[in-house]
Amino acid sequence: MPDLLSAVGGLKGVFDTFQKLVEHDRQRWDRVATYFTDISQCLTGMARSFENSDIPYEDGNALKVHIGTFEPIAHTIYSKKYPEERKTVEELITALRDLAGAATIMDTIMLLEESKRSVSADQKRKDIIRELKRTSGRLKGLASAIRAEDI
């Protein structure tokens, strides 16, 4: 009988350890989902600023920080369990870098042409707004999918 009790106690210990690992994974995925949501909010804020003909200093600088940390953070969850998602991560990091560059150019154009808005500057601004919103939506969707993921 003592051997049976020891075995049950050992199994309970294994189960408890497994449960802690699953909870830790869930917390990590939740943190990454929150991170993606934060980036999405930066992009939405930038689009809103451009729509109002303002320069998105705060959100633009936050985006630059996110770009530097995006790839390693995204790979903490995707490269282990979902290596096929590496393409999605690579597409998003490219989109974020492109948007940051386009936003910087738009900032400069807006500063230089503040008194005389040109049609081409307005079209560039609209193109950037569209891409900011599109990428923001992708990140929101990804964050939602992560939260719904059964780990």
Convert the pLDDT of each residue in 77-128 to its tens digit. Answer: 776 667 677 788 888 889 999 999 999 888 888 877 765 666 677 788 888 8
CATH number, domain at 130? 1.20.120
Judge if pTM exceeds 0.85: no
The residue among 76 and 69 whose pLDDT is bigger is 69
Q: Which domain holds residue 28?
A: 2-148
DSSP states of 101-123: HHHHHHHHHHHHTSSS--HHHHH
The residue among 79 and 32 whose pLDDT is bigger is 32
Q: How far out from the chain centre does Cα 129 lie?
A: 17
Number of domains in the chain: 1
User: Is the pLDDT at 43 greater than 80, yes or no?
Assistant: yes
Q: How open is the CA angle 92-97-101, to the nearest 5 degrees? A: 145
Give residue 10's pLDDT band: very low, low, confident or very high (50, 70, 90).
low
